[in-house]
Structure 1
Amino acid sequence: MATKIRDVAKAAGVSVATVSKVLNGYTTVNENTKERVLQFVKDMQFYPNSAARSLVGRRSMTIGIFLTTSLAHPFFNQILSGMEQALKSKGYDLIYLAQFSRSKDYSFVRHCQSRNAEGVVVFGFQREEMNFDELIRSGIPTVFIDLDVKQGRAGYISSDNEAATERTVQYLIGLHHHKISFLSGDKEAYASKQRLQGYRIGLERANIPYREDYIADGDFTRETGYLAMKTLLALPEPPTAVICCSDLSAVGALDAIHDAGLSVPEDISVIGFDDIEIASVIRPALTTVRQNMTMIGRRSIELLDELINDDALPPPEEIVPTELVIRGTSAIAKR
C-alpha cells in the first residue's frame, strides 16, 4: 500500500499525507486538489479497504495501538485509562494491533490499513526492534510512547526519565549515600538509557566516581531484579542504595536483600520507578519515582488527534514531569 499511495501522490503532484487525507474524508483539503487526487485514485485503480469508506465521505474514527506489553501489566492499565478519557472526548474507537510477526517482512502500514486506523500509538518497542521506517515514511500519524522518534508525521511523549533519575541520586546523596548502584531495565530501551544517563549525571555533579560494577542489568521484571540485586550484594564493597528502573525490579531487589539476611532501609535503601499499585501496599512501602501514566495515555491520544487533523503540524515532542514519592525503603546511610 505504501508504494501505491506514493505513486498516487507523485502522479497528482501532492504529498502522501494529502492523499491520505483525501482518502479519509478530511475537509481541510481544497476541492480542486481533492478532485485531482480522486481522479488519479480511480485511474490507477487504487482502492484500499480504508478508502472504500472514506471515498463516500466517512472517516473510520479509529485509532490503533501497537504494543509489546501485556494488557494486564499495571503500567499499561494506567496508560489505557488515560487513553480512554481522550478517546471518549474525541469520539475515537481504539483497536489493539499487537498480534504481529517479528519477521523483517512485517508491515506496520499494511496492518494499519487493514484495520482502517487513521493513526497509531506505538508503545513498548525499542528503536532497532522493528522496521519503523516504513511507518514513518507512510505519513500515517503516529505517536510513540517512550521512544524518541520525531520525523515526518511521527512524534513522541515520554516521562522526564533523565531528570527524574538525576533528582533521585541527589536525594540519596542528601541521605549521605555515596555507594549508589543502578539496576537497569532492558539496556536497549529508550527509557532505561535515559534513566542511566540521569544516574551518571547525578553522580558526576556530586563528584562521585561512576563504577561499572554498580550497574546491574535487568529487564524491568521482578525476576531479573532479584538476580541483579544478588550480584550487587556479592560485591566486595556492596552498595548502600540502589535505584531500580521499575517498581517490579525493585520488589525483586527487596526479595534478594531479605533472603540475604539484610534489612531495608537499615542496611540498604531501595528506590523504584513508576509508582504502580504494589509500591504503596508492600511493607516497607516503596520509595519510587511516580510517572503520570494516566496523563501520558491521555496526551498520546490528544497529540495523535492533532496530527490527524492538521497536515502542517510539526511532529510532537512532549516530556511529562515525574515526582519522587518518599516512603519506607529509603533512609540515611549508616555505612
Structure 2
Amino acid sequence: MARNIRDIAKSAGVSVATVSKVINNYPNVSPETKRRVLDIIREEQFIPNSTARGLVKGRSMTLGMFLTTGLTHPFFVNLMVGMESALKDTGYDLIYLAQIDWNPEYSLVRHCLSRNVEGVIIFGFQRDDLNFEEMLQSGIPTIFIDMDMTGPRAGFVTSDNIDGVKKAVRYLTGLEHRRIAFISGLLDSYVGKLRLEGYRQALREEGLPDLQDYIATGDFTKESGYQAMQTFLQLAEPPTAVVCSSDMSALGVMEAAKEAGLSIPDDLSVMGFDDIELAQHLQPPLSTIRQDCSTIGSQAVRMLHELIHHPDFSPPELVVPTELIVRHSCGPCRK
C-alpha cells in the first residue's frame, strides 16, 4: 500500500506535482496520465490527505464555528442539518472552536489563525460579548447568524423576526383577541429587540393599545415564560392570548396556565416562535412561527464559501422568511 503521494508518483512514473494535479482534478493533465495515476491510487488503496491537498491548493478546506448555545439546543440541531448539506456540496469540513477565553486579551482572530480555518461562522453572541471589530477588520471571511454585523469580508443571515411576530399577532386578532401579551427574548440581543419591535408594530397596525403590563422581558427559556405568565395572571384583566419569543418560553406559559386551572386554547391562546421538534408533541400541539433553520444553516455555509473564493463577492445581508404554523394552542377569544 502506498504510504504517501511520492509512492504514487514513483509507481506511475510521473512527478509529485502531476499526482497532485490528478488528485485535485486539474484540467492540464492528459487523459492517459490521469487514468494511470487513478488506477494506481485505487490499486494501492491510497487515501489523499486533506492537509496535503490543502498545502497544494494553499487551502485548509476547513471552516470554523464559534457559538454560545449548547450543541444540543434544538435551534442549533436544525441549523446543522442545513449546514451539513452545504458542507458536502462545497467539500469543506467544519470545526467547533470551543476554547473561547472571555478575558480582554482574548482574540478571535488569533484563534482562527491558530486553527488554520479559511472562514468562520459566529452564532449566539451579542455585539458587546467580544472584540468583533477586530474580526471585521481582519479580512477573515465571516458570516454572523442572528447578529447584523457587516464588514469588508463579513455578512449575516437571520430570520425575518419582525414579520414573524406580526404574523402571530395578526393571526390572534383574526380570532378576535384584543388583550394580547408578549414575552420578549433578551433585549440586548438582536433578535430579542426585533421581535419586540414586531409586536409593537403589529399592535399599531391592528389598532390595539401598547400596554406595558402586557410586555414581559424573558430570555427565551421555559423558566422565563413560566414566570411571565404568573405575572400576567395577577393583572385585573389578564391577557387572552400570549405571543412568545421562543417555543421554550411558550412551554413555560402553558405550564403556568394549566397550574392556574386555565384550559388551552379555551381560556388562553399561546403562540410560540421557532417550531422546534418538541412543539408538535405538546398537549395541545403548539401553534408557532417557524424559522427555516435548515436554509439559514445552508446559506451561512454557501455565503461563506462565496466570500472565500470570490474576493469581489459583496458581503451578504440575508433575511429568511418565516412561516405561521397553525396547530391547536390558539382558539377564538371567548371573553
- TM (norm. structure 1) is 0.83
Instruction: Report deviation, 1:98.
Output: 2.7
2:235 corresponds in structure 1 to 235
1:29-88 CA distance string (max 9 Å, x none): xxxxxxxxxxxxxxxxxxxxxxx9977643101000000000011110010111010001
Q: What is the alpha-carbon distance in structure 2 between the residues aligned to residue 155 and residue 285 of structure 1?
A: 36
| Residue 151 of structure 1: how far off its partner (Å) | 1.9
CA distance in 2: counterparts of 1:78 and 1:302, whole angstroms:
16
What is the letter of the counterpart of residue 133 of structure 2? D
| Offset, 1:279 | 0.3
Quote how far apart the aligned CAs of 1:119 are. 0.3
Do the aligned partners of 2:180 and 2:243 also contact (CA within 8 Å) in 1? yes
Structure 2: unaligned runs, 5 residues or longer: 1-51
Following superposition of structure 1 onto structure 2, how do residues 90-109 of structure 1 map, counting pairs within 5 Å? Answer: 90-109=90-109
- Distance (whole Å) between structure 2 residues aligned to residue 147 and residue 267 of structure 1: 37
1:255 is aligned to 2:255: yes
Where does residue 184 of structure 1 map in the other structure?
184
Q: 2:183–2:228: 8 Å Cα contact kept in structure 1?
A: yes
Q: 3-state SS of the aligned residue for 2:126?
A: coil
Secondary structure at the counterpart of residue 209 of structure 2: coil
Amino acid at match of 1:292: D
**Is 2:195 the counterpart of 1:195?**
yes
CA contact (8 A) 2:136 2:150 kept: no
Superimposed CA distance per residue, residues 104-154 of structure 1 (whole angstroms, 9 cap, x where no aligned partner) = 221110110111110000000111222100000001000000111122111
Q: What SS does the aligned partner of 1:156 have?
A: strand
| Larger mean Cα displacement after TM superposition, 217-226 or 247-256 | 217-226
RMSD: 1.7
Rounded Cα–Cα distance in structure 1 between residues aligned with 2:194 and 2:75:
18
Query: Which residue in 2 is equivalent to 1:141?
Result: 141
List aligned pairs for 1:95-174, cutoff 5 A.
95-174=95-174
Aligned to 1:48: none
Distance (whole Å) between structure 2 residues aligned to residue 71 and residue 284 of structure 1 = 28
Q: In structure 2, what is the Cα distance between the partners aligned to 1:287 and 1:176?
A: 16
Partner residue of 1:209?
A: 209
Task: Please name the residue that 1:68 is paired with.
Answer: 68
Whole-angstrom CA distance in 2 between matches of 1:224 and 1:267: 21
CA distance in 2, matches of 1:197, 1:224: 19
CA distance in 2, matches of 1:295, 1:54: 28
Q: Secondary structure at the match of 1:140?
A: coil
- Cα distance in 1 for partners of 2:311, 2:176 equals 52
Stretches (4+) displaced over 2 A: 52-58
Q: 1:39 corresponds to which residue?
A: none
Q: Residue 271 of structure 1 corresponds to which residue in structure 2?
A: 271
Q: Distance in 2 between matches of 1:139 and 1:127?
A: 18
Alpha-carbon distance between aligned partners in 1 of 2:131 and 2:334, rounded to the nearest angstrom: 49
CA distance in 2, matches of 1:87, 1:124: 20
Give 1:312's aligned residue. 312
Q: Say if 2:225 and 2:249, in contact at 8 Å, map to a contact too.
A: yes
Q: Is the 8 A contact 2:54 2:61 kept in 1?
A: no
Q: Name which one, 1 or 2, has greater alpha-carbon Rg.
A: 2
Give me the TM-score of the superposition, normalised by structure 2. Answer: 0.83
Helix, strand or coil at the partner of 1:283: coil
CA offsets 1:288-309 (integer angstroms, 9 cap, x no match):
0011101110010000000011
Structure-2 residue corresponding to 1:333:
333
Q: CA 1:159/1:305 → structure 2, altered by over 3 Å: closer, same or farther?
A: same
Residue 87 of structure 1 corresponds to 87
CA distances 1:260-319 after superposition (whole Å, capped 9, x unpaired): 111111111000001011100111000000111011100100000000111112110111
Does 2:82 match 1:59? no
